[in-house]
Amino acid sequence: MQPINERYFEDYPVGESFEYGPISVTEEDIVRFAAEYDPQAKHVDREKARSGVFKGLIASGWHSVSLVMRVLVDNYFSAVADIASPGADEIRWPNPLRPGDRLHVRVTVLEARPSRSKLDRGIISSLVRALNQNGEPVVSFKVVSLVLRRQR
């Protein structure tokens, strides 16, 4: 693909996948995110987490999505043509994200269609999946982006 500073709607090839990462997260980061946004014991309290369902601290699901988002902003979304995202769908957290895990992110371009109402842009739909170092899926979602077309 074009570098993110020269990437437009036309540069997203439907059906292709791209891989990024690995991402890693520390226990300190897990607790810091969760203390602010998701202070459930399994995310912030090491002792309670140890005796809980997951046998140890796990990241907030919104933290894992945010960590993946950072990789996408650095590598996948256009830095010059991305207008906004109207939404995301089918977020799944099939396995926990634990301190020290390494996430590999794979993004697939599901759909790219020109907007019918606004000729300057198109709609990109992407499937995002992150697997840990054991190949287990940790988080996945679909996200829609409005992206400017290249001016001709």
One residue of 1, 69, 123, 127 binding a copy of itself per CB under 8 A: 69
Tokens of 113: 């269609």
Q: Does 65 participate in binding a copy of itself (rule CB under 8 A)?
A: yes
Q: Does 119 participate in binding a copy of itself (rule CB under 8 A)?
A: no
Tokens of 66: 């945010």
Closest by CA position to 44, among listed 29, 57, 62: 57
Residue that the structure tokens 């988002």 belong to: 69
Q: How far is the CB of 51 from a copy of itself (least distance, A)?
A: 14
Q: Does 79 participate in binding a copy of itself (rule CB under 8 A)?
A: yes
What interhelical angle do 61-75 and 27-37 show, nearest 10? Answer: 110
Q: Segment near a copy of itself (CB under 8 A), from 5-13, 14-22, 75-83, 104-112? A: 75-83
Q: Does 137 participate in binding a copy of itself (rule CB under 8 A)?
A: no
Tokens of 21: 């990462």
Tokens of 97: 């994200």
Q: Does 4 participate in binding a copy of itself (rule CB under 8 A)?
A: no
Q: How far is the CB of 114 from a copy of itself (least distance, A)?
A: 18
